[in-house]
Amino acid sequence: MSSSSPLILQDRAAAGRRLVEPLLKYAHRPDVIVLALPRGGVPVAYEVATALEVRLDLMLVRKLGAPSNQEFAMGAIASGGIQILNDYALRAHPIDQATFDGVVARETRELLRREQAYRGTRALVQLKDQVVILIDDGLATGASMMAAIQAVRLQVPSRLVVAVPVGPIETVEALRREVDELICPVVPDWFMSIGHWYMDFSQTSDAEVITLLQRAWQREANLARQPPGHE
CATH number at residue 51: 3.40.50.2020
Spatial neighbors of 51 by CB under 8 A, at least 6 apart, are 17, 20, 27
> 171: closest CA among 205, 195, 142, 199?
142
Instruction: Evaluate whether residue 94 is within a structural domain.
Output: yes
Instruction: Evaluate whether residue 7 is within a structural domain.
Output: no
Domain count along the chain? 1
Instruction: Evaluate whether residue 144 is within a structural domain.
Output: yes
Instruction: Evaluate whether residue 92 is within a structural domain.
Output: yes
Whole-structure pTM value: 0.88
**pLDDT per position as a tens digit, 19-39:** 999 999 999 999 999 999 999
pLDDT at position 230 is: 55
Instruction: Evaluate whether residue 1 is within a structural domain.
Output: no
Instruction: Evaluate whether residue 231 is within a structural domain.
Output: no
Which one is predicted more confidently, 63 or 4?
63
Domain that holds residue 91: 12-225
